[in-house]
Chain A
Amino acid sequence: MNFYNEMYDANGGVRAHYKEYEDWLKATPPERIERKRAEADLAFHRVGITFAVYGEEAGKERLIPFDIIPRVIPSAEWKALQSGLRQRVKALNMFLWDVYHDQEILKAGVIPAEQVLNNAQYRAVMQGVDVPGGIYAHITGVDIVRAGEGEFYVLEDNLRVPSGVSYMLEDRKMMMRLFPELFAKHKVAPVQHYPDMLLEKLRAVAPKGVTDPTVVVLTPGAYNSAYFEHTFLAQQMGVELVEGRDLFVKDEVVYMRTTQGPQRVDVIYRRLDDDFMDPTVFRADSSLGVPGIIRAYQAGNVTLANAVGTGVADDKSIYPYVPDMIRFYLGEEPKLNNVPTYMCRKKDDLAYVLDHLPELVVKEVHGAGGYGMLVGPASTKEQIEHFRQLLIAKPDGYIAQPTLALSNCPTFVEEGIAPRHLDLRPFVLSSGECVNMAPGGLTRVALTKGSLVVNSSQGGGTKDTWVLED
C-alpha cells in the first residue's frame, strides 16, 4: 500500500507547509534534539501528565509518549475540515433531539427504527426531556484520518465522554517551552483558549432562570484513566472537581457537600458514563454516581453535559447513517466522508466480510479505545480465524470497513526518524446555534511500525497539531 506522507510528497519533495520546519530540523544538531526530547520526558513525568491503563496493576500510571515533530495542517485544509465538522455535529445533535422527541427520521424510514430503539445506548428516560438549547453533545471528539490529498474520513464520532483535550493543550505548552524559535517562524493558530470556550458553553446551557450558574466537573475518581484531564480542565476553568459522593439530590435539586454546608449545582460537565450516573435508574451497583440525579435532570433543575443517551448517535451501528442524517436534517450533502461500512447484521454484508477478512478492519459495535478490533492485514491467521468465529456467533455485534491507507508523518522512534500512522481528534463545542472548536485538535500517532491503531491504551503517542494561519 502507498501511504500519504504529511511532510513529503510522492517524489520525496517537502510539502510547502512543512518547508520551514524541515529546514529547521535539518539545521538543528541531533544532540540538541535529543536533549530536548529528554527534557520533555522529564517534564511530563514531573508534572504527572499520565494516564492509567485498564487491566494493569491498579493505580499504575503511564506516560503518553510525546513526539516533538508536529503535525502541520495548512489553513485551507483546516477550513474545509472545520466546516465539515460543524455540519456533522449539528446534524448529530438534531438527530438526538429527534430520537428523544418525535422520531421523524425513523418515521421517514431513513434509519430502521429498531436500530435505534433497540440499541443498548438508547435511553428511554430521555424521551420527551427538553434539554437546554436542544444540545445533547456539548463536547464532541470526532476521529478523522487522511487517506490522500484532501481525502479525509471520519472514523467515529465520540459523543459520550471524549477525552484527550488536555494532551492537545499540554503538547502545545511543551512545544512552546522546548522550541520557542519555531513559533516565531510559523503562524501557528493558538489553542490555549479552549478551557475558556468550554466554560462559556457550559454556562450557556444552564437551567432556565439561573443567571450565574455553578458549574462543576464530575469525575469517576483518581483511578480513572483520564483523571489527569478531569483535574486539568476543572482547574483551568476554575470550577470544582467533584466525585459522585460529593453530590446529593434533595427535592429534585442537586447539591454538593462543602465545608460551609450544601451548595446548589446547576451544570455538570460529567466524565462518567451514563451507566454509572444514577444507581436508582441505571446500574444499581454503581457507587460512582448520584442517586436521584436523573430525576433532577428530567425536572430541568440541572444540566448534564454531555446529555444522557448520546451513545445512540455514536454507536458503530448508527455511524453508517450519519451522511443520511445530514441530508435529512440540513438538506445538505455531507462535507466529510464516512468510511464505507459493512454491517454484519445484514446477511450479504456478513458473507462479504467473512470472505475478505484478511483485508478488512472489524470492530465491535459497542467497542472503544482500540480494544476488541481486528486489523486484517496486520493479523495472524489464528487471530483472523478467532474473529471469524466471533462474527458467526454474533454478527450484529460487529461492523467491518476496508483498511484505510492512513497517512503517516515522520516521527522519532528508536531507529531514528521514521514515518508512523496518525489520526486527528478535533474537539467540537456546541451550544444553541453556535458550533466551534480550537484549531486542530489532538494528533495521535501509532508508534509501532506499520500499526494503524493510535489509541493511547494500545501504546499510541501524541504530537502537537499546528494549524497554520494565512
Chain B
Amino acid sequence: MLSRTADHLFWMSRYIERAENLARLLDVTWQMSLVPQSEEAANQSWNAIIALNSLDEAFAKKYATVNGENVLKFMVSDPDNFSSIHSCLRLARENAHAVRGTLTTEMWETLNATWLEAKEKSFEQLLGAGVGDYFEWVKMRSSLSRGTTLGTLLQDEAFHFIRLGTLLERADNTARILDVKYHVLRSHGDEGATDFYEWGALLRSVSAFEVYRKVYRDVITPDRVAELLILNKDMPRSLHFCLNSVIKVLDLIANRQSGETARQAGLLHAQLHYGRIEDILAHGLHEWLTDFMDRIYLLGDGISKDFLVPMAEAA
C-alpha cells in the first residue's frame, strides 16, 4: 500500500477517535458541572480541558474568561481551533477524501455525511438542543464509522492502519481523561453522594460504568477506576487493551525497518500486562500517565517514520 495512503487512513481514524473522545471528555465535564459546586471549582474543571490540550494561548486570544460556555464553544464548534470537534470531523473527512478510493462506499458516505451535518450545526443550535444530544451524536457517528469499517472493509493493510490510528489515539485520550479528572476528583477528598456521581460520570465518559459494576461488584473507588482504565485487558477503552491490539497490528504490518518501533510498543505493553495499580499509584499517577503519553507520542512518531512518511529512497 502507498505510504501516503496509509498516512491518510491512520490520521483519518485518529481524528474520528479524537472527536469522539473529546465529546466524551466534554460530556463528563458538563455533567459534573451540573452537580452543585462552587463556581471556582467548576471553572477549574473547564480550564483543565484547555490546559490538557495545551490551548491556553489560543483560547485566551479569543475569549476573556474561562467558563463552561466559552470552553464548550471553543472545543466544540470553533473552526479556528484545530483541536475542536468541528475541526476533527473536518480533518477526518479531508483525510478520507484524499483516499476515498481505498475506502468502501459506506465508509466514505458515513464520514462525508457526518461532516456535512456537523457543518450545518451552529453552536447556538447545539446549546439550544442540549449539548448532551450533540455529544451523543458525535459518539454515534464515530461508532457508525467504526462499524462500517469493520463490516465492509477488506481486512488488509488499509484496515490495519485504520485500526492502529484508532488505538493510539484512544490510548492517549483515555490517559488524558483519567489524568485530568482523577486529580480534580481526588482533591475534593470528600466521600459520599457527590463523589459517587462524579466518579460515575467519569466511568460513563469511557462507557465503563456498567463494566465497573460487572468487574468489581463493589462501590466505586478512585483506585479501582484507575485500575480499570489502565490495566484491565478486556475493556475496549483501557490502556492495556489498546496496547494489546497495537502490538498485534504492528506484527501484521511489520517491514524491514519497523523492528525498533515494535520493540518499544512491546516494552510499553509489558508494563501494562505485568503492572500493578499499587505500584503505579505509589509512583504517582500523574507522573506515570505523563510518561505513558510521551511514549505513545514516540510510538506514533516511529510508526510515521517506518511506514507513513519514509525518508529512505533506496530501491
Which residues in A have some Cβ–Cβ distance to B below 8 Å? 45-48, 221-222, 231-232, 234-235, 240-243, 245-246, 248, 250-251, 253, 255-262
- Does the CB pair A46–B109 fall under 8 Å? yes
Given the interface contacts A259-B307, A261-B256, does A241 sit within 8 Å of B101 by beta carbon? Answer: yes
List B contacts of A246 (CB < 8 A). Answer: 2-4
Q: List 17 A-B contacts (CB under 8 A).
A: A45-B116, A48-B109, A235-B102, A241-B5, A242-B2, A243-B4, A245-B4, A248-B313, A256-B2, A257-B4, A258-B2, A259-B6, A259-B157, A259-B255, A259-B307, A259-B308, A262-B313
Does B112 make an interface contact (CB < 8 A)?
yes
How near does chain B come to A291, taking the closest CB pair, in angstroms?
Answer: 11
List A contacts of B109 (CB < 8 A). Answer: 46-48
CA–CA, A251 and B315, complex, Å: 9
How near does chain B come to A52, taking the closest CB pair, in angstroms?
Answer: 11
How near does chain A come to B1, taking the closest CB pair, in angstroms?
Answer: 5
List B contacts of A250 (CB < 8 A). Answer: 313, 315
CA–CA, A251 and B313, complex, Å: 12
Chain A residue nearest in CB terms to B307: A259
Given the interface contacts A48-B112, A253-B315, A259-B307, does A240 sit within 8 Å of B256 by beta carbon? Answer: no
Does B253 make an interface contact (CB < 8 A)?
yes
Within 8 A of A (CB), among B111-130: 112-113, 116
Within 8 A of A (CB), among B1-30: 1-6
Chain B residue nearest in CB terms to A221: B98
Which residues in B have some Cβ–Cβ distance to A below 8 Å? 1-6, 94, 97-102, 105, 108-109, 112-113, 116, 157, 161, 253, 255-256, 307-308, 310, 313-315
CA–CA, A222 and B109, complex, Å: 17
CA–CA, A248 and B311, complex, Å: 12
- Does the CB pair B101–A259 fall under 8 Å? no
- Does the CB pair B2–A261 fall under 8 Å? no
Given the interface contacts A243-B4, A246-B3, A246-B4, does A257 sit within 8 Å of B310 by beta carbon? Answer: yes
- Does the CB pair B3–A48 fall under 8 Å? no
- Does the CB pair B313–A234 fall under 8 Å? no
How near does chain A come to B225, taking the closest CB pair, in angstroms?
Answer: 38
List B contacts of A261 (CB < 8 A). Answer: 255-256, 310
- Does the CB pair B112–A257 fall under 8 Å? no
List A contacts of B256 (CB < 8 A). Answer: 261
- Does the CB pair A48–B2 fall under 8 Å? no
Q: Which 5 A-B pairs have the closest CB atoms?
A: A235-B101, A231-B101, A257-B3, A259-B307, A250-B315
CA–CA, A363 and B9, complex, Å: 44
List B contacts of A259 (CB < 8 A). Answer: 1-3, 6, 157, 161, 253, 255, 307-308
CA–CA, A61 and B40, complex, Å: 46
How near does chain A come to B97, taking the closest CB pair, in angstroms?
Answer: 6
- Does the CB pair A222–B97 fall under 8 Å? yes
List B contacts of A251 (CB < 8 A). Answer: 315
List B contacts of A48 (CB < 8 A). Answer: 97, 100, 108-109, 112
- Does the CB pair B307–A262 fall under 8 Å? no
List A contacts of B102 (CB < 8 A). Answer: 235
- Does the CB pair B1–A255 fall under 8 Å? no
CA–CA, A302 and B100, complex, Å: 26
CA–CA, A240 and B161, complex, Å: 16
List A contacts of B6 (CB < 8 A). Answer: 259
List B contacts of A243 (CB < 8 A). Answer: 4
List A contacts of B253 (CB < 8 A). Answer: 259
Chain B residue nearest in CB terms to A257: B3
